[in-house]
Amino acid sequence: MSSLRRSGVPAGVANDRAATLATAGSLLFPTQALWSSMRRHHSDRRGAGTGGFLLFVRSFGRRHASHDQSCGSERGILTTLTPADRVRGCLLGGHLGDALGAGIEFLGTLDAIRAKHGPAGVTGLTASYGGVLAACTDDTQMTLFTAEGLIGAARSGSSDVAVEVYRAHLRWLDTQSRRHPPADATGLAAERVLYARRAPGNACLSGLESPDMGTFAQPRNPNSKGCGTVMRSAPFGLVHAHDRARELAEECTVQTHGHPTGIRSTGLFAGLVADLVAGVSLQAAVGRTLDAEGSGIGARETHDALARAVRLAEAATGGPRAEDVAAVGAGWIAEEALAIAVYCALACRGDVVAGLLAAVNHGGDSDSTGAIAGNLLGAAYGSQALPARWVAELEALAVVHRIADDLIDLIDH
Ligand SMILES: [Mg+2]
C-alpha cells in the first residue's frame, strides 16, 4: 500500500491519475492497458448522440470499459471527479439511500407507502426506529465495518484480508447485542451511534454467531442468497481494483451466505464499484458486469436479473418507474437487490435524487436497495451530486466521513 502515490498527478483528472497509479501497481485502479482501451473507445464514441445509451452498455462491456460521462453530463453534473470524491460519494450515497428507505422497508406494498407518504411515496427524509431522522440501519453499519476491516488489513499488511473483514463484522455483531460501547473500545466499536439494532438480516447474524468463520469449503447458510452481502460490500471496490475487489467480496460473502447467486451478485457489485471509483462510466461498468464470464446458477440468475434491469432502464426514457422496479423484483434476495439498484442508477440518467427515490419506493427491501443504489450513484457522480440538505441530516454522518477519510488516506499513502 505504501507504494501507492498520487504525487505528481494533476488534480481533478481522475482517469489520468488512475492511469498513472496503475503503472505503479496500485490496488485501486485498473491496468494501463485497460485505460488505454478506455481512451480509445471514448474517442470512438465521441460524436454519438445521447439517445439509446444502453446500446453502448453491452459493447462497452465487451471491451471492458470506457471513460464516458454522458449520463452525468446530460444533467450538468460534474464530469471530472477525483477518486476521493467517488469514495466519499459512495459511502454517503449508501447511507442516504439506507436512510430514505429505513422508514418504509416493512410497509409491504407500494400502495401502503403511498397511503402513508402521498402519491409519490417518500420524497425526502423520514423518521424511523422510534423517531430517528435519516437513520443508519444495518446496511450502513455493516458497510462501515467492512471498510474498517479492509482499512485495518491494508494498514497492517495482513495477508488474510477475509479474516480482518470477519473480525470487523464480529465487532458489528457486538453492537447488535449491547446498548453502549465497551469502555476499552476503539475504532468503530467505540462509536455510540452504531449501537442500534436496525432490523439486521438473520443470515448475517447467524453466520457471524457461528463458532468458526465461513469459507468456500464450509460456507455459512449455504442456501441463503439474501441481499445482506451485497448491501455491505461496496468498500471492497473502494480499496481494491475490479478483480481483487470481486475476489475478496466473494470470499467474505460465504462468512454469512453461501448460495452461488449471493456470491456472484456480491462479487459483481464490488467490481462495479471499483470500476466507478476508477472513473469508468456507469454504463460501461454495468456492461462489464453483464458480460462477466461464468456458468452455473449463480451466474445465470445474476445475469438474468441484471439484463432485465438494463432492458427496462433502456426503455425508461422519462426516468425510473415504479412498475419497472417491481418487475425487477423486491430486493430481498441478492440478484434482485443489485438489479434494482442498477436499474435505478441507469434509468435516472444522472438525476441522483430520482434514482435514490425510485430505489426505495417499492414494496420490498427499500433500505437495502436504496443503500446499494446510493453506493452506485455516489461513486458514479461523487459526493457533491448528493443533496447537501439531506446529507447533513444523516444519523452517522460523522462516522461515514471519518471512514471515508481513512479510505482516501489509503490512496494518498
Ligand atoms: Mg437495513
> What's the pLDDT tens digit per position in 32-62?
333 334 333 333 333 332 233 334 344 433 3
pLDDT at 411: 81
pLDDT at 69: 38
Residue 228 CA to ligand 1 center (angstroms) comes to 9
Output the pTM of the full model.
Answer: 0.84
Separation of alpha carbons 374 and 233, rounded Å: 13
Residue 139 CA to ligand 1 center (angstroms) comes to 5
Residue appearing with cell numbers 446496511: 139
Residue 132 CA to ligand 1 center (angstroms) comes to 14
Separation of alpha carbons 107 and 315, rounded Å: 28
Residue 123 CA to ligand 1 center (angstroms) comes to 19
CB 227 within 8 A of CB 333: yes
pLDDT at 388: 98
CB 262 within 8 A of CB 269: no
Q: Which amino acid is at 216?
A: F
CB 207 within 8 A of CB 255: yes
Q: For 392-412, what is each residue's pLDDT tens digit?
A: 999 999 999 999 999 999 987
Q: For 233-260, what is each residue's pLDDT tens digit?
A: 999 999 999 999 999 999 999 999 999 9
Q: For 119-133, what is each residue's pLDDT tens digit?
A: 999 999 999 999 999
- For 116, the grid coordinates are 402513508
Residue 201 CA to ligand 1 center (angstroms) comes to 8
Q: How many CB atoms lie within 10 A of CB 146?
A: 28
Domain parsing of the chain, residue ranges: 14-412
- Sequential DSSP letters for 211-243: SS---SSS-SSTT--BTTTGGG-HHHHHHS-HH
Separation of alpha carbons 213 and 100, rounded Å: 33
Contacts 24+ apart (CB under 8 A), 112-115: 112/363, 113/361, 113/362, 113/363
Residue 370 CA to ligand 1 center (angstroms) comes to 10
CATH code, residues 14-412: 1.10.4080.10
331: alpha, beta or left, given left = phi > 0 and alpha = psi -120 to 50? left
Backbone angles phi, psi at 128, to 5 degrees: -155, 175
Residue 354 CA to ligand 1 center (angstroms) comes to 20
Separation of alpha carbons 328 and 321, rounded Å: 11
The neighbourhood of ligand 1, an ion, using CB within 5 A, equals 137-139, 367
pLDDT at 343: 98
Q: For 328-357, what is each residue's pLDDT tens digit?
A: 999 999 999 999 999 999 999 999 999 999
Q: Mean pLDDT in the chain?
A: 85
